[in-house]
Amino acid sequence: MPEKTVNIMIGGAAGQGLATVGQLLTKSLIRSGYHVVVRQDYMSRVRGGHNTYIIRASVDEIYAPREAMDFLVALNQETVDLHLNELGDGGLIICDEALDSKGRPGLSISFKDLAPKPIFQNVAALGLLASLLGLDRDVPAKLLTDTFTKKGEAIVKQNHEVLDAAYAWVAEQNAGIEPLAPVPAPVKRLMMGGNEAIALGAMAAGVKFCSFYPMTPATSVAQNLITHGRELGVVVEQVEDEIAAMNMAIGASYAGARSLVPTSGGGFALMTEGVSLAAVAETPLVCVVAMRPGPATGLPTRTEQADLNLVLYAGHGEYPRAIFAPGTVEEAFRLAHRAFDQAERYQSPVFVLSDQFLADSFRSVEPFDTRSLPAPASPLKEWAGEGPYERYAVTDSGVSPRVIPGFSETLVVGDSHEHTPDGHITEDIEMRIEQKQKRLRKGCGLWEDVVAPSYIGPESPDVLLVSWGSTKGAADEAAMDLRADGVQAASLHFSQVWPLKLDQFAAKFDAAKKIVVVEGNATGQFAALLKLAGAQYTGLVLKYDGRPFTPEYIVTALHKSGALEA
């Protein structure tokens, strides 16, 4: 009977082309109509190191990576040695005949017979997997054509020959492997990662300037803007350090360009003085912080959710801020767009808090409907109000009219010190208090605009799993697994983690017998914020080994903690 879901790990050394195999297979699966979740693990090495590319594909919608592998595709012996025990019951190993599969059932292949040169072995692996999964040969063939046409017809022909040889080899084996159940009417979907979605959301919002200093796992936000933003007039500047990146973005924003700074925790730590500058100068700014495990360099290519407090308290002085934490690729797109609107609407720094797992995780997503997005707030080009223009005019909302300098005769005066309404430096006691209170009043507007958490499950669950950011998929599927086992379980996901609006979720907390917060750090940073907001939880499931959550990890932790006992 055809399988509805498959979990594949491709492992090898950096440079063996496993990312090429993985991406081509992922695209083939998506074009064939399957839902896909991809997880990438790679080591922090300039060259070499052991990497894996894990694809979970399903006829039905899926949200998270799973642990037990159905196929382990080993491109080297190290993959066999490290990951053989991750094969599930009935799982098969696929490797070259020169490798020791240690007696595990599977397929032993002579890659040198299928591929005329080692450079084509990744295409041979693609053909083997696509054939075993029952994918129409024309799907990967067209992908190869699309990918290699620029290199000439001869290269395309050679790739097709290797693909055909792999399909023919599988047909001769009669391996008895059940293919994936076909999707009768495939829906058009895109293959997209979290950072790519953030960049697209920023472009949909009209980003015009991005300054950055490269830092994994945030760099690909800027790289995507470089690749796709040129036609939209986006200027991307790689600068000498993080301080320059932040200050250059503030300057561009002051001059009217919607500005973005992507970085990771270590880079953001260096930027925080600039964050304060943006706050006191009331300059809109969107900062994407893609988390990785610290302190310091920590595990630079792994994932964690431990920079929430860093972002929440970044910068000296007091000022309101909004922090978004997308849980899916779709949310990464929408929240990046929303961040630009809020940054302009409240003339303050706004943060998109992501992590390595989401940044590098490819998903199958339906094309975004950009026409349904509201137009982000915009500054003024000239002053048409009563009286002389005052950049920091005191208002009930705390938001002053923002005129971009240079577009009209309006004189715009800004200052990084405490200032008067017309932008001149002051140390006057009353004015200091008035301006401080004005800036803090923006927090009321931000609080009113909070994105409500999403809820899935019964109305009065025995256990409520609370997640934020990229933990959403694993928490949602863990709750689904528990419901399948007869446990009344629900999940509540926060895609905005600050400010928190208690009346948006208090009823869900009150209705649940147990509330367990699931987050990727060692101290329960978000759980502490919930308590600060007035919500009480009963348990924590934490993970801080540098790897993303899985549903199995959450369910096992709940059993161990006794959270599922009546």
Q: Domains of the chain (ranges plus CATH)?
A: 5-173 (3.40.920.10), 192-365 (3.40.50.970), 379-449 (no CATH), 454-561 (3.40.50.920)
Q: Could you give the angle at the alpha carbon of 358 between the alpha carbons of 354 and 359, nearest 5°?
A: 80
Contact 58, 37 (CB under 8 A): no
Distances (CA, A) of 236 to 210, 219, 268, 275, 562: 5, 12, 18, 19, 51
User: The pTM is what?
Assistant: 0.96
* pLDDT of res. 117: 84
Instruction: Per-residue pLDDT tens, the chain, 566 aa: give them.
Output: 568 999 999 999 888 888 889 999 999 999 999 999 999 998 888 777 899 999 999 999 999 999 999 999 999 999 999 999 999 999 999 999 999 999 999 999 998 889 888 888 889 999 999 999 999 999 999 999 999 999 999 999 999 999 999 999 999 987 778 899 999 889 999 999 999 999 999 999 999 999 999 999 999 999 999 999 989 999 999 999 999 999 999 999 999 999 999 999 999 999 999 999 999 999 999 999 999 999 999 999 999 999 999 999 999 999 999 999 999 999 999 999 999 999 999 999 999 999 999 999 999 999 999 999 999 999 999 999 999 999 999 999 999 999 999 999 999 999 999 999 999 999 999 999 999 999 999 999 999 999 999 999 999 999 999 999 999 999 999 999 999 999 999 999 999 999 999 999 999 999 999 999 999 999 999 999 999 999 999 999 999 999 999 999 999 999 999 999 87
Residue (of 500, 429, 487) closest to 458 by Cα position: 487
| Predicted pLDDT at 50 | 92
Closest CA to 370 of 343, 330, 325, 328: 330
Pairwise CA distance, residues 225 & 512, whole Å: 43
* pLDDT score of 1: 54
Helix (H) or strand (E) holding 509: helix 506-511
> What's the rounded Cα separation, in Å, for the pair 498 and 562?
30
- H or E, element range at 90: strand 87-96
For 153, 200, 230, 289, 337, the CA distances from 324, given in Å and listed in that order, are 47, 16, 26, 10, 11
Nearest to 379 by CA among 356, 397, 400, 393: 400
Tokens 């932008």 correspond to what residue? Answer: 423
Q: What is the pLDDT of residue 2?
A: 62
pLDDT at 178: 87
